[in-house]
Chain A
Amino acid sequence: MKLLRLTPENTKFPFMRFRRVSYPFSAFLSICSVVLFIFWGMNFGIDFAGGTLMELRAKSGTADISLLRNLAEKLGVGDVGVQAFGNASDVTLRFGVQPGGDTAQAAAVEKVKTAVADGYDIRRVETVGPSVSAELVQSGTLGVVLSIIAVLSYLWFRFEWQFAISAVIATMHDLLLTVGFFSLTHLEFNTTSIAAILTIVGYSLNETVVVLDRIREMMRKYKKMPTDQLIDISINAVLPRTLMTATTVLLALFALVIFGGQVIRSFSLAMTWGVCVAVYSSIFICSPMMIYLGLRNESAVRGEATDSKDGAATEGAR
């Protein structure tokens, strides 16, 4: 049987030379992300903005968005966002926190419910109060920061400091671009998006670690080789694996995007984007970063000394 190969055998791409392109390119994208975030903003869901979200399905036929919009505007519950949700018969209605606390919010929900009850089934109602949304923002940010710190320390313990810093810079790059993606597409940003971001952080580090692991191994093997050449060899060596894994993960994610339903679509899309960015950054951002951080091949000698406690895990490399 002839087996499928994504990558030709023994590739020798000069990845490190691309850093003159990839760095300005990434810097540009990062700046774009920040600019988008500031001026175009994020589509914060009720998890973070507070308010009420209702999902409706037309009892028959398609949902009439403009009719619903007119209807909702007359209810006096503030701005009501009406949006198509996945298919023609589903819509979401969204309005903000009502002045007057939870009783006012409940009254507003009831008002909307009665107004649409004739033509629509209510499939979901979610209300998040302002105190909760503030906490969700806090715990979300905390989660991302904590995971970066935790992983930084783990990498510091397992590798050289240049590896840890590079990995974290690459991860931040992925984070920033994901935020930019959310801003640009105006996909709803909610607690599942935080889950997506943390998974992207995890995946990005996973990618990075695989590359770094190989670089470390090569450093021990070829003690005299110039650093950029060494990194090139390492990336080329893991390239088949990187592309193979990225493809399997993307296949699974495509299935999620297409069949997973509207409720988690923004999650699935963000993950898909994140995986692509993570693969890119592990090759073009993280690895060259170590050259900028002054990683010298001789440091491998020290690395070997400190790593001797790793035991079986790296035994084969010596």
Chain B
Amino acid sequence: MLRFAPWKVASIIGMSLIALLIVIPSMLSPAARTALQSHLPSWLPAKTITLGLDLQGGSHILLEVDSRAVVRTMVENLRDDVRRTLREERAGVVGGIAMQARGVQFRLANPAEAEKTIPKIRQLGQSSGAALLGAASAPGVEVNSTENGVVQVTITEAGVTDKVRRAVDQSIEVLRRRIDGSGMKEPTIQRQGADRILVQVPGLQDPQQLKELLGTTAKLEFRLVAQPGDNPADIEELDQTEGGKIPVEKQVMVQGEDLTDAQPGFDQRNGEPVVNFRFNLRGGQKFAEVTTRNVGKPFAIVLDNKVISAPRIISPITGGSGQISGRFTVEQANNLAILLRAGALPAKLTTIEERTVGPGLGQDSIDAGERASYVGAALVVVYMLVTYGVFGIFANIALFVHILFIFAALVLLGATLTLPGIAGIVFTIGMAVDSNVLIYERIREENHMGRSILSSLDAGFKRAFGTIVDSNVTMFVAAVILYFLGSGPVRGFAVSLGLGILTTIVTAVTMTRMMIAVWYRFARPTKLPI
């Protein structure tokens, strides 16, 4: 009981000091922190605690890739590929190629041709990136045929998953470019599950702009406005941003993917905000060719199937650059330029969860959390003191170190402190002394049964330890499960709860014991003080 290896004592004191060093930067105001750091050596820890969005304010947006739309596009592409393959193989089809939910079906005019066409169609599934990943990846399509020449091509589950996964990856890239382009600070963009993307932007600014940046597909197309006498099958009616509909040709002349740059600017004639863009070589040539052939006709600029504007082609545009006008505000022009520079999303993204906390509420929550922590801690400290006297002081020192350890661990792990996380810490303040209470009550009991002071101290620590472990394991299990199932703020709660349980074992058991041992050696008590 009284003997403590010097390394143990040293390591606990050392750990507490290190924890203090780690926590100090987070306790200071940003100004004081920078001032202090300029005077101190750079090896001192400077990391501060990461506050959750509910405390510092900000937006948390969960987006989902529309997998149905992805599948639809896959089926359309598959149909085109099958048609091309059949043409290359010169195989006739009776009644066209029928599109289905997850594949296409057609009937060969000559069933005997199945033998040479089917292997070619089977290859279609491999071309879609699967070949790059090696033979291990599953084929993208499955081909079945019957005796009478009906061929069924189905996109496999693996094919869809693969495509969705890549759509998510691409989307993350595009979103990152968009958010960086808009100048928002410290965004986190991460994949969540198979088809979701979590975007978190702290301390926000303008949630509406963020949502526009995230929610717009930004597929830009240049198409000719329909002329009288066009084949109705080649025309579709599209909405205009200023209201009403306008018939345009289905054929896309030039696409946004050929853009190399887009910048907001002002029209030289009327001063209206516009977006100036430049094409790459291919796009520039195509654009020149189309504008040369169609001088005098209106040219529709289509963004996400909506016509922004349809200016008349006054003269051929051969320089590879142009301008989009559309009665924009400066902000809209700016946003559109960011969107066009970052490129189009591979699929539509749907917002399925959004949580935006204003900085005012965040600060209020921090204040409330701080107040609750101070009051809670003060109540517990006083209560321990009046109940256990000098032993209460030991428990309170251990409690202080325990809180220090939790914060140090939060800083080191880069874990996020949320409002429920603060609640978790306040709760563990109440729970942390439980181990002390278990030990002290046991010591009292042993003493009442007639043991000497030293022997009751020893027995108290020894016998309470098993209970402390058992009871904390159950709590820890709850925290771990909460961590894996929860999200955001709730996760923050699980982290502080779990950390709190781990650190009590060190502080409440080992530290208290050390303090009591030292106290016993110097005070040589004749009576147990509790």
Contacts and interface: CB of A to CB of B under 8 A. Distances in A.
Nearest to A159: B470
A106 B419 contact: no
A155 B379 CA distance: 33
Interface stretch (A73-81, A246-254, A290-298): A246-254
B136 to A, nearest CB: 31
Given A261-B419, A314-B466, A317-B463, A127 B490 contact: no
Interface in B366-396: 368-369, 371-373, 375-377, 379-380, 383-384, 386-389
B234 to A, nearest CB: 29
Given A143-B481, A202-B478, A123 B430 contact: no
A243 B463 CA distance: 19
Contact of B360 (A5, A121, A147): A121
B415 interface: no
A68 B73 CA distance: 45
A198 B430 contact: no
A313 B489 CA distance: 36
B437 interface: yes
Contact of A142 (B207, B445, B485): B485
B194 interface: no
Contacts of A251: 376, 379-380, 383, 430
Interface in A247-288: 247-256, 258-261, 263-264, 267-268, 271
A50 to B, nearest CB: 10
Contacts of B371: 259-260
A140 interface: yes
B479 interface: yes
A142 B372 CA distance: 31
Contact of A206 (B207, B208, B475, B487): B475
A226 B434 CA distance: 30
Interface in A177-234: 191-192, 194-195, 198-199, 201-203, 205-207, 209-210, 213-214, 217
B486 to A, nearest CB: 7
Contacts of A125: 207, 354-356
Most buried by A among B375, B444, B478, B490: B478
A67 interface: no
B51 to A, nearest CB: 14
A263 B215 CA distance: 29
A261 B364 contact: yes
Interface stretch (A14-22, A30-38, A128-136): A128-136
B481 A268 contact: no
B453 interface: no
Given A121-B360, A249-B431, A267-B420, A3 B388 contact: yes
A132 B193 CA distance: 12
B305 to A, nearest CB: 14
A55 interface: yes
Nearest to B207: A125
A202 B479 CA distance: 8
Given A121-B360, A255-B426, A202 B474 contact: yes
Contacts of A264: 419-420, 423
Contact of B437 (A105, A155, A244, A258): A244
Contact of A127 (B353, B469, B493): B353
A248 B364 contact: no
B304 to A, nearest CB: 12
Contacts of A9: 448
Most buried by B among A124, A146, A202: A202
A306 interface: no
B427 interface: yes
A250 B465 contact: no
Nearest to B380: A248
A101 B350 contact: yes
B365 interface: yes
Contacts of B430: 245, 248-253
13 contacts: A55-B361, A126-B356, A129-B350, A158-B470, A194-B482, A198-B481, A202-B479, A237-B445, A244-B437, A249-B431, A261-B369, A310-B466, A315-B462
> Which 3 A-B residue pairings sit nearest by Cβ, starting from the closest?
A261-B368, A252-B430, A255-B376
Given A248-B437, A256-B426, 19 more contacts: A4-B387, A125-B356, A131-B64, A140-B485, A203-B475, A210-B438, A244-B437, A245-B437, A255-B375, A256-B423, A258-B375, A259-B371, A259-B375, A260-B372, A260-B423, A267-B423, A271-B427, A310-B466, A313-B465
